[in-house]
Structure 1
């Protein structure tokens, strides 16, 4: 051993074997102190590991309770007691049946006190063996900083913690904290949203209810249904791939309460994994994306004229030739070149007929009706990602004409779903919500249409699916009504006919409406390259059909019996069907 005597400025070399006894004693006690320091720190790490392991076992029991043993009758008191025991600072988010779709678990972060690190290279190499993806240069800079506290790795697992403890490196320690987890990954991503590293909400429900979620332990119950969401997500994901789209949307809404039962926007993301805020996967197409919807708007055009008694089902409209409005020619996608009844205008999806109906209503009344059913203002919803409709400030004759068939106005998919709900639920506009409703506040619903007009619209939508452009959604076991929509995408002051937005809005069961379903595909490609079958009848309609057939049993809707179906149909609908109206559109698949 090389020994030195004296102060730093006057050190003297002492040959080996001739050290004074007091120097040997100092070295001996110095070694003892170092050994005790290492053992003390290892002891602290063991204690922290024990605490975390206990928390981990409690967490495991909690997740079992929430995800396996959980039944629809989970009580708030149980969840509250668990949260209090774990002292978690953020409440759970549940679906309508009590399943936890966002929860908080205890976790630990690895940190270092650089002033206690004697060899940063050894620490870097040692941690690199445990965490292969760590940035070595960044870690080295942190360990050589002047700070007393630097994070090295967030959310360390129990297995990783054991390996760190075995290193026995002084200067490393743990911070016991929390982590927000999402048991179902990307299934609810655009609704639930995200939190940051400090567990603060940054998007979706997490952001909107951030204060509520951090101020109590009572779970937040949403209107979403886990089973329906999972099924719809699976079917829409398949359509997204099958039709090679750049985006897709699906929504299921309860027409009587306006509770959103399911909402999917693709592409989506896993909220537990941090991604760039500008990543396109974070864009919520269902509530923030605005689209020119095309022919689904014809429902609103017919409804506003029905409500003013300007037309009846038998009113005939001249569709023998294109219209010229302000120098612009308006024609049908599948022209019939004949007079069409109002029923046929919807069934054949006639632009010519829709424009004539809009002319009867007048531009001022058209705008007033669309405003009344919520299509001209941003929705009041419990997430920040809300799109405001885009429409002309000056409502000219030509604007009124194109808006009648869904061009020249852009709204979100949820706008369409909410508005269609008011057409079929008896004539009431009810504010849509992501929260589970026990009742509807008086200031959140209003009558926008008579019940008689609502019945007529249900009848017309049923004909569209039974024999018209939406016949691809017809199901023998369920009565379905709906409307197709195919719209060229606006581009550089005009429209790109090679890029389409296709959609289908459906209602089931149509004789006693319970749910509205909506499917939108952004730029679907034809499956067969030999033809150009890209319109909604070839993609959005069959997608919606599969969704209805699979989610109806989940929602408690039993297959129709022909006899009971006829008994439940309203007098108006029965009268129309009994007249034997044959308005088939076998060649019109829009």
Structure 2
């Protein structure tokens, strides 16, 4: 047994020998080949594992970068991409190329709250340059967890320079564009204004956005390259004259408001339109809501006796009334508990021209009765006085009328009570009375006569238009329009003095005065309408339209007729071109 045990031990030692032939290593140690192989394999595994880890790490980074590159950009605290902030708006020009609105480059101040160390110190420094900063609001922004906050939009270059000199960490500037209106309030209600993000809010600025600019901006397809200018039909020279006349008469009569328009009778182009009080589009917040209201197109009023022009045109156009007919105006009309009487009654029969000249409520009411209720309503509808006017300007009000037309309604509407419409609509309908009978939609963009003819709608006979021109001239010379006459320019028209409704009742001491005119009346080129709301005299009594609205037309025409290219005509049929003074 001892021998066999000895043999087994020797075999075991021989098996684990590291030498190929069982040789011993130096020093007598046995070199084991299996241990060396195992350690080499472990080293290779460790290197492979480390390489695999690096590959996975950089794959994760690459994947995240690709993810962030493909995802939609985040909107943080109302910040927009730089190309959209810098996107241009087209310049707005008058018909002669004068700039009414343009873009100027500016910068806005922002903060990165996560980089702000001491919010109180930042506020203290900023108020050295911007003393009107709301400290509490700015502190809340600087203390927030967001990474971007607007502090002040649209700084001046001086403010930017002074803030830069303060060297505040976490504060920066972003380039923007600001809308600038060189004329200030001159054409405020026509041009409109934009908001802080250069988006149109009112007027033609809003119209431009509605034509596709806003959609392009929303899609990020706008750029900072200059756009083709938008030319308006406005003549800024006439516009300035019109506004100046309105403002001076508001001060003169201590009125609540005034308005006016100069309209091309043959194309429908608006050459000038103003509503006062108004506002400065460079800072529209100054002036309040009274200044924002465009009374010419977005305010509705009972236009008073100017409506008698439409009643007479309706009666003549129907064929039931002749220019030589007469109407009994001796006695008031009593209907439905109301009494209809003339302000300056003559107590006799009046011819059609006299009804117009003396502004007879009785005579006008009887003309409307001849036509009938349905015919009356249909005629005003045809003239566009009962529906919303169509034009580029977004601010357009809807006229009001009785829910059900009865005889009393037709009578009162015949002389301008019971229907409220916009002054601009009244001027447009008035143009149809004198231009041959064509109703042309008003436009604030250039339009040729050929383009106007393509869209015009004939609403009265040419012979009716001839009669109305004669009546306008007759009243301008002999009636309430005398104060609107301008030597050489043959102004014709019709006044309207409407009692205002105070506490549900018509008040004779508070009037809305208007004057609808055309010149030169022998071949009208322009229609001018003015109104003044609640004018007061020195005795604090109401002022009639002949003494307030008509002189405004005189001032406008006398100063702008030459600008509009209308040549004066003197003598019989213009035979004398010069006069002696």
Consecutive unaligned residues in structure 1, runs of 5 or more: 1-83, 569-590
Q: Which residues of 2 match residues 367-406 of structure 1 at below 5 A?
A: 367-406=377-416
Q: What does the per-residue CA deviation read over 1:423-473, in whole Å, with 9 as the maximum and x for residues that have no partner?
A: 000110011111111442666311111111111100100111101111111
For residue 120 of structure 1, what is the aligned residue in structure 2? Answer: 119
Tell me which residue corresponds to 1:305: 315
Is 1:447 paired with 2:489?
no
Kept in 1: contact 2:109–2:152 (CA 8 A): yes
Deviation, structure 1 residue 390: 0.6
Partner of 2:75: none
Aligned residue among 520, 530, 536 for 1:525:
536
* Matched-pair contact (CA < 8 Å) for 2:498–2:512: yes
Change (3 A) 1:444 1:490: farther
Which of 271, 283, 291 aligns to 1:273? It is 283
- Please state whether the residue corresponding to 1:164 is helix, strand or coil: helix
Q: What does 1:238-253 align with in structure 2 at a 5 Å threshold? A: 238-253=248-263
Q: Residue in 2 aligned with 1:331?
A: 341
Q: 1:538 aligns with which of 538, 541, 547?
A: 547
* Superposed displacement of residue 177, structure 1: 1.2
CA distance in 2, matches of 1:484, 1:563: 26
Partners of 1:461 and 1:282 lie apart in 2 by 34
Cα distance in 1, alignment partners of residues 462 and 309 from structure 2: 16
1:558 to 562, 567, 573: 567
Alignment of 1:313-462 (within 5 A): 313-438=323-448, 439-440=450-451, 444-462=455-473
Once residues 172 and 151 of structure 2 are traced to their aligned partners in structure 1, the CA distance between those partners, rounded to angstroms, is 10
CA distance in 1, matches of 2:230, 2:343: 47
CA distance in structure 1 between the aligned counterparts of 2:123 and 2:522, rounded to whole angstroms: 69
| CA distance in structure 2 between the partners assigned to 1:533 and 1:137 by the alignment | 51
Question: CA–CA distance in 1 between the matches of 2:282 and 2:145?
Answer: 32
Conservation of the 8 A alpha-carbon contact between 1:88 and 1:104:
no
**Once the two structures are superposed, what CA deviation does each residue of 1:58-94 show, in whole Å capped at 9, x if it has no partner?**
xxxxxxxxxxxxxxxxxxxxxxxxxx9x974211111
Supply the distance in 2 between the matched residues of 1:435 and 1:261 (Cα, whole angstroms). Answer: 10
Deviations 1:365-392 (A, max 9, x none): 1111111111111001112211111111
Distance (Å, rounded) in 2 between the aligned partners of 1:274 and 1:224: 21
Distance in 2 (alpha carbons) for counterparts of 1:343 and 1:244: 34
Secondary structure of 2:178's counterpart equals: strand
CA distance in 1, matches of 2:124, 2:337: 74
Larger radius of gyration: 2
- 2:509, 2:541 within 8 Å by CA — same for their partners in 1? no
1:172 corresponding residue in structure 2? 171
Give the Cα–Cα distance (whole angstroms) in 1 for the partners of residues 473 and 271 of structure 2.
Answer: 23
Structure 2 match to 1:471: 482
Pair 1:515-2:514 in alignment:
no
Aligned match of 2:492: 481
Distance across 2 between alignment mates of 1:180 and 1:353: 54
Which structure 2 segments of 5+ residues have no match? Answer: 1-82, 217-221
Paired with 2:462 and 2:354, the residues of 1 have a C-alpha distance of 22
Q: Distance in 1 between matches of 2:572 and 2:336?
A: 51
* Matched residue SS, 1:279: helix
Alignment of 1:490 with 2:489, yes or no, is no
How does 1:229-268 map onto structure 2 within 5 Å? 229-268=239-278
Is 1:501 matched with 2:508? Answer: no
1:37-67 deviations in Å (ceiling 9; x for gaps): xxxxxxxxxxxxxxxxxxxxxxxxxxxxxxx
Kept in 2, the 8 Å contact 1:88–1:105? The answer is no
Mapped to 1, the partners of 2:284 and 2:562 lie a distance apart of 36
* Mapped contact 1:325–1:401 kept (Cα < 8 A): no
The match for 1:223 is 233
**What secondary structure, in the 3-state scheme, does the structure 1 residue paired with 2:531 have?**
strand
Distance 1:189 1:344 in 2: 41
Shift of 1:563: 4.0
**Which among 538, 550, 556 is matched to residue 547 of structure 1?**
556
CA RMSD of aligned residues (A): 2.1
- Taking structure 1 as the reference length, the TM-score comes to 0.79
| Aligned-pair CA distance for 1:274 | 4.3
Quote the residue 1:10 is aligned against: none
Q: TM-score, normalised by structure 2?
A: 0.80
Task: Report the 3-state secondary structure (helix = DSSP H, G, I; strand = E; otherwise coil) of the residue aligned with 2:451.
Answer: coil
Aligned-pair CA distance for 1:413: 0.2
SS at match of 2:196: coil
1:105 alignment partner, SS class: strand
Residues 113, 147 of structure 2: 8 Å contact kept? yes
| Deviation >4 Å, runs of 4+ | none
- 2: CA distance between counterparts of 1:282 and 1:178? 24
Query: After alignment, is 257-266 or 438-447 more displaced?
Result: 438-447
Number of aligned residues: 482
Residue-by-residue CA offset, 1:198-254 (whole Å, 9 max, x unaligned): 111121211122044735811111111100000110111000111111111111100
Shift of the 96–404 alpha-carbon distance from structure 1 to 2, 3 Å rule, reads same
Distance 2:284 2:123 in 1: 24
1:297·1:406 contact (CA, 8 Å) conserved in 2?
yes
Contact 1:316 1:342 in 2 (8 A): yes
Q: Does 1:158 align with 2:157?
A: yes
Structure 2 match to 1:296: 306
CA distance, structure 1, for counterparts of residue 210 and residue 460 of structure 2: 38
The answer on whether the counterparts of 1:213 and 1:220 sit within 8 Å (CA) in structure 2 is no
